[in-house]
Homo-oligomer: A and B are copies of this chain.
């Protein structure tokens, strides 16, 4: 969720012309407090615009390619998308609820990750680090007594 970003200028500095669709998709991704699936984004956008699902996929691919957004794997079958980390938005872990399928952003303070050693010694190129916790979210926990223990 960002109130500081000028999405228009982000697109321009990323070599992407700020077309209405790109701008709207970037806004949807950026103004949300959790990473959204392509389907989520398509549905949200469809409420106000006429747009094809494939266009959404293509724009998401573009934004990922240019490093504007991150493709985040959930514990399920679909990818989710969130703003790529930058000075305003530090990289942070996510939580995936296996019951409702929602992915939520976690506070970066809550998890400490040290990867210096691996970065020094790894013989390939490391471009991205993903930390994901899986389990049952607060809401599903309330609705599903059987998961309260264990």
Contact = CB atoms under 8 A, between A and B. Distances in A.
Interface residues of A, number: 42
Give the copy number.
2
A118 B110 contact: yes
B136 A127 contact: yes
A91 interface: no
Interface of A: 71, 73-75, 77, 93, 95, 97-98, 106-107, 109-115, 117-118, 121-138, 140-141, 147, 150
Given A71-B75, A95-B124, A124-B138, 17 more contacts: A73-B132, A97-B124, A98-B127, A107-B118, A111-B114, A111-B118, A118-B133, A124-B141, A125-B141, A125-B150, A127-B134, A129-B133, A130-B130, A130-B132, A130-B133, A131-B131, A132-B132
